[in-house]
Structure 1
Amino acid sequence: MPAANVADPDGRVLNLGSLRGTPVLLNLWATWCAPCVKEMPLLDALAGEYDGRLRVVTVSQDMQGAEKVEPFFAQGGFARLEPWMDPENNLGFAIGGGVMPTTVLYDGDGKEVWRVQGEFDWESEEVRAAIDAAIAG
Structure 2
Amino acid sequence: MRFAQKKKDSSLKFLADIVASKKRVIIVFSPLLSKEKFMMRLLCLNSGIDCSDMDERTIPKSEWPKLTFAADNLCNSKLYIDDSSNLTLLEMKKRIERLRNSLATKKLNIDLVVIYTTEAFLSGNPKNKKILLSQIMKIAPASAGLMLL
Is the radius of gyration larger for structure 1 or structure 2? Answer: 2
Greater fraction of residues in strand? 1
Structure with the larger helix share: 2
| TM-score, normalised relative to structure 1 | 0.32
